[in-house]
Each structure stands twice: as C-alpha cells, then as structure tokens.
Structure 1
Amino acid sequence: MCGIAGYVGNFNARLLGQMHRVMAHRGPDGDGVWTDTKAGVGLAHRRLSIIDLSEAAGQPMQSVDGRYVIVFNGEIYNFKELAEDLKAKGYQFNPNSDTAILTPLYDAYGTKMVEKLSGIFAFAIWDKQEKALFAARDHLGIKPFYYTVTPSGMLFASEMKSLLQSPEVKRDVDEEALFSYISYLWSPGEKTLFKSVHKLLPGHFMMVKGGHMTTTRWYQPPQAPLVKGKPQYNRDKTPQDLLNLLDEVVREQMVADVAVGAFLSGGLDSSTVVSSMAKTVQNPADIQTFCISFTGQDGESEGFGQDVIYAREVAKTFGVSLNEVEMTSASLESLPETVFYLDEPQADPAPIYVKAICSAARAKGMTVMMSGTGGDDIFSGYRRHVVMNLKQKLDSRLPTFARKAAAGLLSSLPVSNSTLKRRLTRLSRLLATNANQALIAAYYYTEPAILQQVLSPELRQAYASRRADHLEETLDECQGQHLLNRQLYMELFGFLPDHNLNYTDKLSMAAGVEVRVPLLDPKLLDFAADLPPEMKLRGGEGKYILKKAMEARLPKHVIYRSKAGFGAPIRSWMVGEKEQFMRDVVLSDVALSRGLFDAQGIETLIADTKSGKVDGAYTLLSLMVIELWLRQFMDKKVPTMLAA
C-alpha cells in the first residue's frame, strides 16, 4: 500500500525528507511528513491509494483527539468489523479508512491491538502523551520494516535505502549474513548484509521510550498440540471445509476501492486463488490475470515448462482475462535495477518476473494483485518435502554405511541437466546427514564446500567459526512435531518472510502495485497446522487436501501437473550467453578489491559448472547480485535511471 519512515532521537528534520523521497516508488499517490522537534520524533509516508482514495485518508494521520500520530503500510481486511467495536466504545474516526481505526484501537487495547488485526501491515504510532513509539509487523512479515540504532537515536523505514540516507548508519558487511545470502539466496531473521541494519521480525512489535527499545513477539505460530510429547491431529477437516474457507478468505481480501487482478501461472496455487475470485465477482471476464512466458529453448532445457499453456486453460475454465508477459535472457540486464528495488541481495530471477508482471498489470489499470504464494508452504508443495519424506523412510530401513554409499553414488553421477544435477546433489547430501542437518541443508543453493572455495582466505576462517543462524533457531521452535510439519514450520517462519515475501513486496511496489497473499491468511495457517501429515503429503503427492478440494473446479491434468517453480534457465545464462556479463561484474577489479571472494575459486567454479561437474549457476548469480548490491548500497553508485 505505501512506504513509511521515521525517527526517534536527535535527528535533523531534513533527513526525514531524504528518507521518504528515496522510496517515492512506494507511493505515487501522495506523501506527507510530520515532526515534533521538541519531542525528537518524525514520521513520513508515501501513499499508494487503495482504500478510501480521498485526501482525508492521507498520512501521517493524527487521531481525532490529537494524542496519536500514525504511519501505516498495508491493508486491514477486517477494519469494518473493528470499526463497529470502536464505535460502540465511543471512539470517533473516519469509518472509511483502515488506517483511521488503528489509533483508537491502540488506545482501547494497547499492544494487544495487533492480535485483533486481520491483514498485512507494518506501522508506527507515536503517543504524544507517553512520548513513546509503538511499531508492529504482521504475522509473516508480508510488509517490511527495517530499523537501525545510531548515536542520535533510532531510525525505521519500509526499505533499507531510506535508513542509509543518514551518514550515521555504518556500512560494514555482516559476514554471517553474507554466508547466508550465498548459501540460501537470502538472509533469514533479523540480519541484513550491513551489521548496523536490522529487520523487525515477523509477528513482533517494538516499543521505543525514554531512550530504550524493546521488541516482543506477539504472534505465536500455530502447531499441532502435543500430548505426552506426541502431536495430536484433527482428522475431521475435509477438502470441502478447505474450499469454503478459501472462498471466504479471498472474498475478504478483495476489499479495495481500485481494480484487483491476479497472478496466474497455471499452477495449483494461483489457479485456486483465481477460482475463488471468479466466484466472488459478477463478471469473471473483468478479472485481469497475468502470466510469464519464455521464448527460445532455454526454459525447456532446464526443466521450466511453458506455464502459459496451463494458464490459458485455467483462464478459459473460469472465464477470466489472461495477459501474457514475455521474458528472455535479455531480462537479466535489468538486474541492477532489480537489485536497487530489492534492498537486499537476493539471487533469484523471480523478482525480475514480479516486476515485469506488476508493471504490465499497472499498465492495465491494476493497483492490487492477488498471488498464490504460500500454498506450497502450508500444504507441502516443494520437492524438498518429498525428498525429506524419502530420507525419513530410508533412514528407518538402511544402515548408515549404506545411506552414505548411496549418497556418494548419487553425487558422482554425470548429469548435464543443471536442475537435475542440483536435485541429485541435494538428495545425496540429505542421505548422508541426520534429520536436523538435512532440514537446514534442504535450503542450500550453494554447497558449503563450494562456498568456501569462492570465499577469500580470511572469510574461510570466519565461515568455519560461524554461529547458528535464524533457520536453525526456527527449527528449535518446533521440536516434537512430525518431520514434515517441522519442515513446513521452517518454510513459513524461516524461508517465506525473507525470500518470497520480501521480493514480492519490493518489486510489486516498485511498479506501484500491492500484492496480497490470501493463502497465508492466519485462518488458513490455523486450518493447516493440525492436519495429519498424510493430508498434506501422501504417496509422494504434495498438497493432497488442496488438490482434492480443487477437483470440484479444475481439470485433473491441471491439478496433478508436475511442479513448476517460478524459476529461470539460470545455467544457460550464467555460463552461456550472459557469461561475459557475469564475469564483468564478479571478476572486476572493483569486486576483487573488496577482499570477500577468491578469483581462482570463482574461475574453477565457472569451469566446473560448464563441464557439468557441479551446478554452480546460482552461486555465480549470488556473487553477481552481491557485487551489484555493494556498488549501489556501499559505494553509492545507483544506476543512472534510478538516481533521481
């Protein structure tokens, strides 16, 4: 919906203007600044109008009694119900604005007000009477919130680049975050690539008062209850129950005073959302949907099918309009721009596609887009879930020496297809490790040995003594659960917030579009949490209950098609037609002078990837993205087209 920024402390008010101007892309419909010099506080806002398009809904917004000032990013889907409750208590506010209910809700319920919200949000409320700042982030971190503490006080914003407008924010690389970015493609938890900048964790709130800052977890993720150490499941839930709940959630999330469109890949999750949207409106043809298509043979050679074929069939089934957005290897040339908007160095082609789709949607008049993100994470749709299930069975049937022998055989197979090579490598690694190690290793895009190969000698030593990261801490929270549910817990609270949800928010907002994720509604998380594992993954078939539910609406060959990720032919690009582009970045004098990576190690990785000995394509992409990010965020060399 918007971009927010602010400070508490001894800062120059001019800084606030710089902070909100650098994220002007998040709010093309208006902006505002509020400061109290005496109290040492400032709030700024960029507006993307979605609910209540009038000037009365502009921000920063003061409560009717003048006590509170708020900046808010997101949508509150149940704001009308909350408004009725507040009216009954005698509060006065603009009933047409979801922002306007938040300050009286805080006055009525204090910090517990966040537990009443159904929506996606990041906001900050200044209490003039208490001289305190209260800030909160939604249950899964769908909306971003960065902060930093300097000698002058605390700064916060929707994007890291806003914080970096202050000369007090140091730009020292966090080595442990660097290892995560290369290993996983993202950095989980609070860490960013700069030691001084942090993320407010999903489902947490912050209180700043009297020079002290505290953070508190307000959202407790649902899990199956444990009785005598064993999880208890609800076996009464049916596919029809799920379908009814899906329709309810999508209907709630379509609330807007602007046009609402949808992503449609032809996969199960996006098709599910579109099916519920079609039931909500009078004329489904008014729903504009969007799909990526590849040109050339690159996609097929690396296992990426033509989603558009299925998307056309789904669009025809529900009578919605489909718009096709064509992508080629030339799309990689937009990487510097993508890195600028991402704020974090995520080495994934998907952000490029999100920007392309949302730009096309905006050109068609869409301000809101519905996404199927989350279906894989709550109902078990990733291949790594099937692999872990296989590992669990093999662990119970094969002795350790046999599993390790099988792992060695798999890793040595000569395979030219990079996607298959990566999957075989993962399987071999999982077979050779225990369950906890395997749950973490399932996220590796760069093997530890390859990571150490490309690191500089100094960083190799630091890597050897690294501490546990947020993924490992997340794993500790779900002890006692079934292996599959532990893995899904990690997807939701270790993977999604800092990967899919981060790039989806950043690149959609760069196009002036808000993306909503109905499959991640808390009601659906609650529904899925205590389902028996076999209702999610059965006989190697993921999303069992969702597929059964959708049999009433979709052709079976669409429901049971092979899993197709939101990926790209990275190997064909990194060691093919875009190799020189990659080399010019990764092996440049500027990159090597930083002392982070080893030139010979990178050359070896390129050669081994070309020969098929290893699949280092994503590692090479990671190194390229990190260098492009450092040029912009450390060296302050923003691409010319973005300099304004």
Structure 2
Amino acid sequence: MIRGFIDFDILEQPSNLTACAPGEPLTFRGLHLEHDHSARAAVNERTLLVLLGEPRIRDAVLAARVADLGWKEVLPALCSQPEALLGKLGGRFALLWIDFGQRSLGLASDRFNTFNFCYAREGGRLSFSDRADGVPALRREINRQAVFDYFYFHTIPAPGTIFQGIRRLEPGSFLIGNAQGSQLHAWWIPHFEESAKADFEQSAHSFKDLIRNAVERELDGSPVGAFLSGGTDSSTVVGMLGRSGNPVTAYSIGFEAEGYDEMEYAKIAAKHFGVRHTPYYITSDDLVANIPRVAASYDQPFGNSSVLPAYLCAKLAHDDGLVKMFAGDGGDELFGGNTRYAKQRIFGYYDRVPGLLKGALLEPVLTGTPLGKLPLMRKAASYVEQASTPLPDRNALYNLILRLGIDNVFEKDFLGTIDTGAPLDLQRRVWQGIDAHSLINRMLGFDWRFTLADNDLPKVVGSTQLAGMNVIFPLLDDELLDFSLKLPPEYKLKGLKLRWFFKEALKDFLPSEIIVKKKQGFGLPFGHWLLKHAGLQKLAHESLDLLVDQRILRKPFVDALFSKHLPAFPGYYGEMVWISMMLGQWIAGQTTPEASSLIGRDR
C-alpha cells in the first residue's frame, strides 16, 4: 500500500532528502509519504520518484540498463523526466513523483488501471493512496451518486469512488497537482490501425510467439498456478505454461448446477496439456463463509459475482504454497470473443436500410401503432427499437436496474439527490474518445474500459491479493496488445463468428472441444442456491434490509424480489440480490462511522 498527502501551501524542499525505505514514512514540512515493500523509491537533487509494481520495460536501452545495474541504480537518473518514463513502461505499474522545484505532485496509472491511484483535493492539500479507503482525506463520506452508479455498473467506474470528493485516476492517465490546482492528462490512448488485409499464416505465427513469450518471461522455474475455466483464454495460457516445462497447477471451480458448470472442459484442457489439475466444487456454504470477507476486502463496493470463485481458486493455490497465479483475462476484449459483439453487428445491419423506409414505414408502424404489439410483430418491433438506438445508448436498454424501473427499485428521496443520467454520460464520453472506425474495434475499446479496467481486472487483482497471491495477465501483454491493434477488424469478428483469428490461429494447439464450446466462465448459480439455502437467505435478507433501513432500496421492491421475482426467474433476479447483498456487506464490513452509517440524508 502507498498513501500520503502534500500541503502545497507549506511544502518545503528538504536540504538532505533521501528516499524513504519501505515501511518507514517520509515526513517533513508539507509532506507525508509511506509505502510498502512493493514500491521502489529514488531521489535526485529536486525530485522524489516512487515506482509501484513490476513493470515490463518497453524501451530497449532502459531495459538493458536495468538488467545490468538493477532498478536501485537506474531509478535516480529517471527522476528528472517521470512523464517520459511512462511511455517506456508496460504491464502492471503505477508512478508517483514529487518535484520540489516546481512544488508539484504527479500520479500515474498503467494502461488498464491494475495499479492505480485515488486522490482528494482539499484546499492546498492533495491526499492520495492506491486504495479509495486509504486516502487520508480530512473528511470521508459516502457518495450517493456512486451508490447509484454501483447499481448501474455493478462496480464504481473511474473517475468516481464510493467516497465523496475522492477520485480515481482513469486508465492510462496521470495527474499533476500544485498550489493552483490539479490537471488530468492521458499518457496512453490506444489507436486501432484497422488494416484491411493481413497475411494470416505470418500473423498466426507471430500471435503464438507473442503469447508464448508473454507467459515464459514470467517464469523462473518455480512452481506456479493458473486459473482454468475451460474456455479458450484460460486454456491457451495453461497450454503455454504446460509446454514451457515449468511446474504448473491449474485450478478450476465447478458448480453442481445445470448450465453453469464447465469442469468437463477444464479437465479436457488439463489432460491435453499434461498439467496438474486441482478441481474444486463450490457450495452454498462456501458463499456464506466467504462473502463478508471478500466484500469487505475491496476499497469500495464490488458486485462481480465471479469474484468468489476467483478468490477460492487463488486460495487453493496459496494453500498449496504458490505465490504466482496466471489468468486468461483479456482475450475476449482484444480479439472479439464476447457474444454481444455479434449481436450488435446484427443491429448494425439496420443502418443499411434506406432512411425513407425507416422513417416513413418501419419505425412509425412497428413502434408507434398497435401493430407492433401483435405476437408475430413483437420481435420485429424490438429489433427496430434497439437498432434505431445508437451505441452506447443501446446498452441502457439491457441495464438491470433500468429494466426493473428505478422508481420501483429506489426510494424517492434517494433518487432526488442523484443524476440518473450520469452513468450513460460517462459511457458516451468514453465511446466518443475511442480512436477507431469499425464497430467491432469501437466495442472492444469500450470494453477495455468498462469490462476490463473497471470490472474483470479488479475482480482478479482483488481476489488474488486477498488470497496472498500475485497475478499475471499474459493475454494483456503490451506487445500482444499492440499486435491486436493492427489486426483487421474482420479477423476479430468475421461475419458473426466471434474471435475468428484467435481460434483459427490456435486450432492446432487447443483441443477441438474447447474451440467449439460456448462461452460460460466462472458465473455463480447464486439465485438458484439462494432459494434452497437457509444461511444464504439469512445473509441476503440482512444485507438488503440494511439498504432498506438506509432508505436506498424500497421495501416493497425488496419484499417482491424475494417472494415473487426470485422464485420465478432465479438467474435474472438473483443478480439483483447479489449486487445489493455485496453493497450491504461492504457497508457492514466498514469500521469507520462515516461508512457504517451510510447516507440517510441529502448532503
């Protein structure tokens, strides 16, 4: 952990500044800084520089120097140009620097925010930490808007946090703060080149080499673990590990529920690549035992339901004495593997319909007359409604709380203090900032932010940290990322075929059963289990009752959710119970008075 604050009004440059050692705070007039063993610090005559994580060095000259001399000797010479250093680093890292000559503070996050900074500005003081709940702000209050954003996204995306006045850096960005104020800058904006053609054989060969290199550079002969769901991504990573000769154990979570379990495919992959396999079937008792701890471990509410399986996988590896875990996240978002990409392409076909036909016939008849409500016409009307709504606004048509009805879900007083359009405004801003032309690449760029940086990666990073493990994401290796930016769009979504290039390039590597399987992942059968397990019901009821007491959720909605909706559609309504429960458990797990007594009044 790293945390501290600068008071620019009284900040002074010490005459004999030396970098603080891990665990020893650096404190003098106008500055307090503390960091742990995972950070490296260096200083020159006017600048203090702190590097977090284990970055991959992308600059050949710098890489050679660090390999020869080590970071301890090289880092002091880099203090004078911290912003230039950002472009030379890759992987998981964050950077902090204090320029005493300019009386300024810099904070920077990596491309996907796997290491990040949160900060708060209070007059002439700027406080910061790598956790939202670690920022030493003078006041810390729960933000009502962030609570609504959590229900909308099932997490709280950057730049917001759960706390009023505390912000999180966005992926690939940096902040410069001084006495006059703070400015945010993007140091990395992905550019999709969108080549029309590519040599498939050469591309496939390079692709496999890049994955192999990304895996093997993280190996030193020590035993490692790997997540193995049985999908193409995790199976590819496990396969490369197995072929490397390094000792590896693959860990898989199964569910005794139809439509959720894919242990069969995980076993196929483990056998195919000859790796040790440790399967574990999660139970309702596992959820009751671990939900409170997992929820409280995050720096803000986190509602991705696969966080529990991820944590239990990582805990198995830790209990086996391992310290490093490989994950397959990123393949879908780099190479076009999510089913919604094909679905949105189908809606994109509507753009080819002549405007006169759409405006004078299809839309008025199907969406504006009783004809569109007839059984045979409902699908056509639904298609026209969705297709005529542009992205990213179209995503709101599928949003859980919007479909349930926010006036039905939330208390009127709560809704009166928040902007219900803010989540979509953020999505529109991100969508407009994507440097791509094709629909598939724009959707990928969008998911790099909301699916990867704000959701899936925090899930894996947070769950492995809680289990005492370090996680590696080889499919998000910078060279592989650069490679994906240059692939033709049709290689990612060929017609309606998802991740066409990925599967074609690896069809002689992966088992055929995994190439053709449907995507599942580590999703929980939570709603189905909730109907049958008394302990889980008690935990869920207590959690949602807390949100009713705080006048966030309406009691009639919660009562109907448990008594009517959940029994009828446990998969769908179970998700609403889950995200509500995880918020309630996060609040219950907080120790500060500000967090435990939420937001009963308008601030």
Into which bin does the TM-score normalised by the smaller protein fall? 0.7 to 0.9
What does 1:359-370 align with in structure 2 at a 5 Å threshold?
A: 359-370=315-326
Question: Structure 1 110/347 Cα, relative in aligned 2: closer, same or farther at 3 Å?
Answer: closer
| Equivalent of 1:440 in 389, 395, 407 | 395
Q: What residue ranges of structure 1 are gaps of 5+ in the alignment? A: 13-29, 49-58, 88-92, 225-230, 414-423, 639-644
Q: Which amino acid aligns with 1:233?
A: A
Q: Is the 8 A contact 1:376 1:382 kept in 2?
A: yes
Q: Which amino acid aligns with 1:61?
A: A
Q: Is the 8 A contact 2:392 2:431 kept in 1?
A: no
Q: What residue ranges of structure 2 are gaps of 5+ in the alignment? A: 11-20, 597-603
Q: CA deviation at 1:106?
A: 3.9
Q: Quick one: distance in 2 between partners of 1:505 and 1:100?
A: 29
What does 1:270-281 align with in structure 2 at a 5 Å threshold?
A: 270-279=234-243, 281=244
Q: Which residue number in structure 2 is paired with residue 293 of structure 1?
A: 254
Q: Is the 8 A contact 1:267 1:311 kept in 2?
A: yes
Question: Structure 1 255/114 Cα, relative in aligned 2: closer, same or farther at 3 Å?
Answer: farther
Q: Which residue number in structure 2 is paired with residue 75 of structure 1?
A: 54
What does 1:245-644 align with in structure 2 at a 5 Å threshold?
A: 245-252=210-217, 254=218, 259-279=223-243, 281=244, 283-284=245-246, 286-294=247-255, 296=256, 299-300=257-258, 303-306=259-262, 308-333=263-288, 334-393=290-349, 396=352, 399-400=362-363, 431=386, 433-437=388-392, 439-441=394-396, 444-462=399-417, 466-467=421-422, 468-478=424-434, 481-577=437-533, 578-588=536-546, 591-606=547-562, 607-612=564-569, 615-633=572-590, 635=593
What does 1:46-61 align with in structure 2 at a 5 Å threshold?
A: 46-47=36-37, 59=39, 61=41
TM-score, with normalisation over the residues of structure 1? Answer: 0.79
Q: Quick one: distance in 1 between partners of 2:325 and 2:384?
A: 38
Question: Structure 1 402/100 Cα, relative in aligned 2: closer, same or farther at 3 Å?
Answer: farther
Q: Which amino acid aligns with 1:291?
A: S
Q: Is the 8 A contact 1:355 1:508 kept in 2?
A: yes
What does 1:37-116 align with in structure 2 at a 5 Å threshold?
A: 37-38=28-29, 40-47=30-37, 59=39, 61-63=41-43, 65=44, 68-78=47-57, 81-83=60-62, 86=65, 95-97=69-71, 101-107=74-80, 109-116=81-88
Q: Quick one: distance in 2 between partners of 1:570 and 1:429?
A: 34
Q: Which residue number in structure 2 is paired with residue 233 of structure 1?
A: 196
Q: Is the 8 A contact 2:25 2:35 kept in 1?
A: no
* 3-state secondary structure, aligned to 2:141: coil
Correspondence 1:143 to 2:115? yes
Question: Structure 1 611/110 Cα, relative in aligned 2: closer, same or farther at 3 Å?
Answer: closer
Q: Quick one: distance in 2 between partners of 1:613 and 1:563?
A: 20
What does 1:24-43 align with in structure 2 at a 5 Å threshold?
A: 31-38=22-29, 40-43=30-33
Q: Quick one: distance in 2 between partners of 1:411 and 1:450?
A: 26
Q: Which residue number in structure 1 is paired with residue 14 of structure 2?
A: none
Q: Quick one: distance in 2 between partners of 1:9 and 1:60?
A: 23
How many residue pairs are counted as aligned between the two chains?
A: 568
Q: Which amino acid aligns with 1:331?
A: D
Question: Structure 1 412/460 Cα, relative in aligned 2: closer, same or farther at 3 Å?
Answer: farther
Q: CA deviation at 1:620?
A: 1.9
* 3-state secondary structure, aligned to 1:304: coil
Correspondence 1:193 to 2:184? no
Q: CA deviation at 1:439?
A: 4.6
Q: CA deviation at 1:635?
A: 4.0
TM-score, with normalisation over the residues of structure 2? Answer: 0.84
Q: CA deviation at 1:322?
A: 1.6
Q: Quick one: distance in 2 between partners of 1:441 and 1:119?
A: 32
Q: Is the 8 A contact 1:267 1:564 kept in 2?
A: yes
Question: Structure 1 249/465 Cα, relative in aligned 2: closer, same or farther at 3 Å?
Answer: closer
Q: Is the 8 A contact 1:410 1:428 kept in 2?
A: no
State the percentage of identical aligned residues. 22
Q: Which amino acid aligns with 1:155?
A: S
Q: CA deviation at 1:190?
A: 0.3
* 3-state secondary structure, aligned to 2:32: strand
Question: Structure 1 614/290 Cα, relative in aligned 2: closer, same or farther at 3 Å?
Answer: closer
Q: Is the 8 A contact 2:55 2:89 kept in 1?
A: yes
Q: Is the 8 A contact 1:189 1:470 kept in 2?
A: no
What does 1:194-209 align with in structure 2 at a 5 Å threshold?
A: 194-209=163-178
Q: CA deviation at 1:288?
A: 2.0
Q: Is the 8 A contact 1:131 1:209 kept in 2?
A: yes
Cα deviation, 1:369-414, whole Å, max 9, x if unaligned, reads 111101111111112112212222356468336775999689999x
Q: Quick one: distance in 1 between partners of 2:242 and 2:385?
A: 42
* 3-state secondary structure, aligned to 1:222: coil
